[in-house]
Amino acid sequence: MAKEFEIRTDLALEEKESFPGDGGEIHGVSLKEWQDKGGNFKITEVVVLDEEGARAMGKPVGTYMTLEAKNLKWREKEYHTALAKELARQIERLMRRQCIGEDGNILVVGLGNEAVTPDSLGPRVVSQLRISRHLKKKYRQEMFGSGRSVSALVPGVMAQTGMETAEIIRGVVQETKPDMVLVIDALAARSVRRLGNTIQLSDTGISPGSGVGNHRSAITEEVLGIPVLAVGVPTVVGAAAIAHDTVGALIQVLNREQITQNIGQYIENMDPEEQYAFIREILDPEFGSMYVTEPDIDETIRQLGMLISDGIHRAVYPEDEREG
Amino acid sequence: MAKEFEIRTDLALEEKESFPGDGGEIHGVSLKEWQDKGGNFKITEVVVLDEEGARAMGKPVGTYMTLEAKNLKWREKEYHTALAKELARQIERLMRRQCIGEDGNILVVGLGNEAVTPDSLGPRVVSQLRISRHLKKKYRQEMFGSGRSVSALVPGVMAQTGMETAEIIRGVVQETKPDMVLVIDALAARSVRRLGNTIQLSDTGISPGSGVGNHRSAITEEVLGIPVLAVGVPTVVGAAAIAHDTVGALIQVLNREQITQNIGQYIENMDPEEQYAFIREILDPEFGSMYVTEPDIDETIRQLGMLISDGIHRAVYPEDEREG
Amino acid sequence: MAKEFEIRTDLALEEKESFPGDGGEIHGVSLKEWQDKGGNFKITEVVVLDEEGARAMGKPVGTYMTLEAKNLKWREKEYHTALAKELARQIERLMRRQCIGEDGNILVVGLGNEAVTPDSLGPRVVSQLRISRHLKKKYRQEMFGSGRSVSALVPGVMAQTGMETAEIIRGVVQETKPDMVLVIDALAARSVRRLGNTIQLSDTGISPGSGVGNHRSAITEEVLGIPVLAVGVPTVVGAAAIAHDTVGALIQVLNREQITQNIGQYIENMDPEEQYAFIREILDPEFGSMYVTEPDIDETIRQLGMLISDGIHRAVYPEDEREG
Amino acid sequence: MAKEFEIRTDLALEEKESFPGDGGEIHGVSLKEWQDKGGNFKITEVVVLDEEGARAMGKPVGTYMTLEAKNLKWREKEYHTALAKELARQIERLMRRQCIGEDGNILVVGLGNEAVTPDSLGPRVVSQLRISRHLKKKYRQEMFGSGRSVSALVPGVMAQTGMETAEIIRGVVQETKPDMVLVIDALAARSVRRLGNTIQLSDTGISPGSGVGNHRSAITEEVLGIPVLAVGVPTVVGAAAIAHDTVGALIQVLNREQITQNIGQYIENMDPEEQYAFIREILDPEFGSMYVTEPDIDETIRQLGMLISDGIHRAVYPEDEREG
């Protein structure tokens, strides 16, 4: 189906894949891929270089790292440690580029709704972090040397607070003056096979979009005045994507058999506007906001929460190798 | 699409609706419908009278009451009270038929997984009940007269316990000898528009089936030796149902336009086996167990939890009108 | 025992009671007491009129209302409704004095730590509020007329955030410009018999002090620039108070018998400095921060959470009598 | 103060210490103590050998291991690993004595109330266990070889269920036939300095007693028909112990100064009956059930939950060294 028609995704990688030829050359966008030594995971870097790239991708200029693991739910310690180290390496790389010093204060923000399991990743990660800003302020150099300090915020979602998440963060940033914000969020993917095995890191912050509960207007350097890194993990697929995929799969199946080929082609050749109207007809109006998730999402969130908080610890407290 | 092809539903009402003519006569099944006086909700009673009906419906012999409200999430006290009273009336009616006396002990079982929001209805209801069995045993007649007593159990799900839910309940029933079991469960519906506004009551207990996390093998009078009432509320739709509905809607849309009519008819006329294979091709293998739910499912569960615990209180403690 | 020696309390009423003659005349402090018509609860108003009173009481100038119920845990609907109405009346009275208009925006702040039961009252109350600021901003006059709007914040405690609670609130107030802040907090009382049946309301905000987890430096009009009402309920007693009470009770018992009277008098007549040193010797150094609470504190918090959120609803949405 | 007067403790070690001479010879009780190699923790083994010892100790015949760490809250990975390994070693030793084979099924029971922080240790440990009984039943030998399998139960407390915890466990044991029960529980200590740094292991199960919420009548081999190991950690001190300690400390202080010595001696020499009446007078009647706990009990429970579930994993899945 044509591009105009696409269901939104929070993943730059999925956006990239949706281009014809599975990611051929796009002006203003660069792409690099590599594997870790152990062959356990794949890393993809999509850099949106300029405004042209930003228009093509529907994503702001910046760097988007994607870590794809075979199975984040696999409970093997070594595997988890390898992943956490890789995550730490990528976070550090982005922090260095943003010139976050050895004694910077990082405000970690756990976006999302604690009371809705697939949306609870951010609050969960924050609850497992070692918080140190208040201790460093109190005991200063003696105890903590010149290391980094961490503060944390779980702002809640608009239905719970009546406020934009961005308003809350802005206020807290102005009052407590951290050097960087690191937001953690549950994302919406376009494809079911992304759930629970992909981590996206970017230095662009978060722009108004889909997400699980859509709890954000721009949380970006432009708005906050300090760098914003974002760590996101897809935990849901918008229900609309399912209907979209079903129609896509239908066309494929129909195209395969000679007798039904012309039916498939007919649907495929509808112009995007028609297709859009068509999918909208199929979808119940109440359906748009629904999402699809896994039955064992609680276990996924538990494992991801440990993995990401471990990764952040390793990145922000490098001196503290013993730390869990 | 043909019956053979249908996606499973936990709702007897949806099963009934799926018959041609929207519920014409089926041998062995009776149907009654009425409205409450205030016009706030609709009640439907489906009685599966005999084995013939049971085969047709794919549901055991017994009575299935359905309460359909316009909006269970509407936060209006009067409306909630009316609903809770109706629910209480229906629970009482079924208890009377099972000859549960004025001083019976009722074991309320909250099925489901507390850690997964749409599956947490049962545990939530139980957490709000007034529990009295231990007090009645201790203070006997003096304080509690001859009223009913309530005990409660949250057995968890198999991934958490390693045991069948039915095993746990059976053990507890044998040890504590209640007169009746009342199970509360989150159900899977076939259609999105059932979510959060339908309550099903039955006197057949719960048979192995879909449910949200499929946490049950038979919890029935046959297995437990005492009557089992079940209160269920659909909180999810299986993701497979979405694909199914999309194809159905596609056919409808195609049939409407002259030029595409033959395409629609072609798909419609595939034989059930072919259709089944076709949908299976469309669906990702990982997709089968996924489910669709609402973004504000936390609020739905909160409201439903209050409503159902209120209804149960009114039914089991009728002498205690003041009770919240 | 002498005043200098006293264990700190968050309750103005306990402070007042500690004066000789159980609250004789103190310069700069006025006291009024009355009962509700039904005789269900007692209301005490302590007004600290000027700096002289403030010094005597160790509490800032302002009004402190105390509602004492026989038993807040009693699950009777009528009784709860009477209490919630009284609470609403007092909140309204204080709001009027602060000139909060009919269309003001009130930011409710739930202080405390959700993960520690006796400290979780604030977050619990907030989780049950109807939040409306975002809806009013979106739909404006049409839907909501000129009624008040509510936003809410659960800032967490310093060990979780690394930030002063007051910093977070100040930032959010500056960014979202509410007309008033209403803080909810769990308090530390001096006496076990205050636990779970006393509600204190004041228009002085919250000053650095004991509290359960001591999660606050000044949250006051002076700091935030807008009026601050505080609703507090004692849920713990500092463990130090227990040691103190034990010594006090010991003296009483000893004084009663002729043979031991001189022993009691001896301890009683120690000068305050000596007494202080003496109690400090008795107390383990780790002991100071410990607190005493009830075994069924979960049920207390549940009931109080419903009561206080009901009271706030009635006060801020007076037009909306149907609201739960 | 005399023995008759003592406040109950769940710790055999505290019971032992209360004997004159800090644990001189008691008939029927043996005592061994040692340190780990790293000097990080002390292990004490109290064996109640016969009925004489049982009477003296107020504890059933059996083995009681105590692990005392400097600080269980210290977040250092290596230290935690050393503790978890020691805990595993002791659990294994007791399992071997009970002849639990290499393919036994162990039912882990998390006692306590999830909603009350210091009482939530048991449920917390269980929520972090890898559960395998259902998988082993399904996939048998192929996947799991002959390893042990784990099932788990969180029975709740009597106020939540209306049933004795022992009734629930008995029913589940009869239905699912495990080879051993391992109960995890939060205990009440007599002294504040035991909180959060002592783990007690015993092979006697749990007898009716104090505990935090007193949620148990006998959970023992006699009642269940299979061996019962118990892992307990003191997380509270009964408030009565505080009053008791205060009087004790008072006597010490008074005895030190010549002028007050006779007062101290007077109180000390009261006969136990008098002393008991005296303490009872001091204590508020509502006071008896209160308990003392730490302000950062949430963090203690979090760390202990990880430590104990790690220890259990290492003991029951020895083949699975990689497991977290």
**What is the average pLDDT value for chain A, to the nearest integer?**
82
pLDDT at A22: 47
Q: Which two tokens stand for residue C302?
A: 């549940």
pLDDT above 70 coverage of chain D, percent? 79
Provide the 3-class DSSP secondary structure of residue C1. Answer: coil
pLDDT at D234: 93
pLDDT at D259: 67
Cβ pair A312, A324 in contact under 8 A: no
Q: Cα–chain-centroid distance for residue D92?
A: 17
Cα–Cα dist B193/D59, whole Å: 60
Q: Is the pLDDT of residue A46 over 70?
A: yes
Beta bridge partners of D183: D109, D230
Global pTM?
A: 0.89
Provide the 3-class DSSP secondary structure of residue B198. Answer: strand
Count Cβ atoms within 10 A of the Cβ of residue B23 and give its class: 0-12 exposed, 13-18 middle, 19 or more buried.
middle
Per residue in A213-242, pLDDT (tens digit) is 555 588 999 999 999 999 999 999 887 777
DSSP E strand boundaries for A8-113: 29-35, 41-48, 62-69, 105-110
pLDDT at B286: 64
pLDDT at A2: 31
pLDDT at C146: 63
For D98, phi then psi, to 5°, come to -85, 5
Per residue in D167-212, pLDDT (tens digit) is 999 999 999 999 999 999 999 888 887 888 899 999 999 876 545 5
Residue A100 or residue A74, greater confidence:
A100
Q: Which chain D residues touch A323 with a CB distance below 8 Å? A: 75-77
Cα–Cα dist C160/A264, whole Å: 56
Give the minimum alpha-carbon distance from B218 to chain D in angstroms, rounded to a whole number: 15
Give the minimum alpha-carbon distance from A164 to chain D in angstroms, rounded to a whole number: 30
Tell me which chain A residue has its CA closest to the CA of residue C151: A162
pLDDT at C1: 29
Please give the DSSP secondary-structure letter assigned to residue D219.
B
Q: Is the pLDDT of residue D166 over 90?
A: yes
Q: Is the pLDDT of residue C151 over 70?
A: yes
Per residue in B137-195, pLDDT (tens digit) is 877 655 555 689 999 999 999 999 999 999 999 999 999 999 999 999 999 888 888 88
DSSP-H helix ranges across chain D: 12-17, 20-23, 51-57, 77-97, 121-127, 133-144, 158-161, 165-176, 221-224, 239-256, 258-269, 272-282, 297-316
The contacts of residue C182 (CB under 8 Å, 6+ apart) are: C91, C106, C107, C108, C109, C228, C229, C230, C231, C312
Selecting from B290, B292, B298 the residue whose C-beta is nearest the C-beta of A116 gives B298
Selecting from A117, A212, A243 the residue whose C-beta is nearest the C-beta of B116 gives A117
pLDDT above 90 coverage of chain A, percent? 45
**In chain C, which residues touch D (CB < 8 A)?**
113, 115-117, 159, 192-193, 212-214, 239, 242-243, 245-247, 249-250, 253, 260, 263, 266-267, 278, 281-284, 286-287, 289-299
Going by pLDDT thresholds of 50, 70 and 90, the confidence category of residue A141 is low
CA distances from A41 to A47, A72, A88, A291 (A): 20, 10, 14, 27
Greatest mean pLDDT among A243-252, C37-46, D121-130 lies in D121-130
Interface test with B, best of A259, A292, A303 (most B CBs within 10 A): A292
DSSP E strand boundaries for A73-227: 105-110, 149-153, 180-189, 198-202
Per residue in C171-208, pLDDT (tens digit) is 999 999 999 999 999 998 888 888 888 999 999 998 76
Give the B:D interface size as CB pairs under 8 Å.
Answer: 95
Selecting from A131, A159, A173 the residue whose C-beta is nearest the C-beta of C161 gives A131
Over residues D147-167, mean pLDDT: 94
Over residues A161-171, mean pLDDT: 95
| B160 to D132: CB separation less than 8 angstroms, yes or no | no
Give the minimum alpha-carbon distance from A110 to chain B in angstroms, rounded to a whole number: 18
Cα–Cα dist D121/D111, whole Å: 8
List all chains that touch chain A, counting a touch as 3 or more CB pairs closer than 8 Å. Answer: B, C, D
| C131 to A162: CB separation less than 8 angstroms, yes or no | yes
| A247 to B246: CB separation less than 8 angstroms, yes or no | yes
Greatest mean pLDDT among A261-275, C30-44, C120-134 lies in C120-134
Q: Which of A114-128, B38-52, C19-33, D278-292 has the lowest mean pLDDT?
A: D278-292
Provide the 3-class DSSP secondary structure of residue D250. Answer: helix
| D153 to B174: CB separation less than 8 angstroms, yes or no | no
Cβ pair D283, D243 in contact under 8 A: yes
Give the A:C interface size as CB pairs under 8 Å.
Answer: 94
pLDDT at C99: 85
Cβ pair A31, A56 in contact under 8 A: no
Going by pLDDT thresholds of 50, 70 and 90, the confidence category of residue D283 is low
**What is the average pLDDT value for chain C, to the nearest integer?**
82
Q: Annotate B84-118 with b (16+ C-beta within 10 A) or e (fewer).
A: bebbbebbbebbeeeebeeebbbbbbbbbbbbbbb
Which residues of chain B are modeled with pLDDT < 50?
1-6, 22-23, 210, 322-324
Q: Is the pLDDT of residue D256 over 50?
A: yes
Cβ pair A264, A255 in contact under 8 A: yes
pLDDT at C2: 31
Give the minimum alpha-carbon distance from D173 to chain C in angstroms, rounded to a whole number: 28
Residue in the structure block whose two tokens are 């104990």: D308
Q: Is the pLDDT of residue C322 over 90?
A: no
The contacts of residue D267 (CB under 8 Å, 6+ apart) are: C263, D247, D250, D251, D254, D275
Beta bridge partners of B291: A293, B238
pLDDT at C3: 34
Count Cβ atoms within 10 A of the Cβ of residue B168 and give its class: 0-12 exposed, 13-18 middle, 19 or more buried.
buried
Q: Which two tokens stand for residue A226?
A: 């300090």
Selecting from C117, C193, C267 the residue whose C-beta is nearest the C-beta of D116 gives C117
Over residues A261-267, mean pLDDT: 71
Give the minimum alpha-carbon distance from D290 to chain C in angstroms, rounded to a whole number: 5
| D78 to A323: CB separation less than 8 angstroms, yes or no | no
Give the minimum alpha-carbon distance from D54 to chain C in angstroms, rounded to a whole number: 29
**What is the average pLDDT value for chain D, to the nearest integer?**
82
| A282 to B117: CB separation less than 8 angstroms, yes or no | no
Per residue in D46-56, pLDDT (tens digit) is 999 999 988 88
Interface test with D, best of B175, B181, B182 (most D CBs within 10 A): B175
Per residue in D106-136, pLDDT (tens digit) is 999 999 999 999 999 999 999 999 999 998 8
Cβ pair C171, A176 in contact under 8 A: yes
pLDDT at A191: 81
Residue D214 or residue C190, greater confidence:
C190
pLDDT at B322: 43
pLDDT at A240: 74
**In chain B, which residues touch A (CB < 8 A)?**
113, 115-117, 159, 192-193, 212-214, 239, 242-243, 245-247, 249-250, 253, 260, 263, 266-267, 278, 281-284, 286-287, 289-299
Q: Which chain B residues touch A293 with a CB distance below 8 Å? A: 290-291, 293
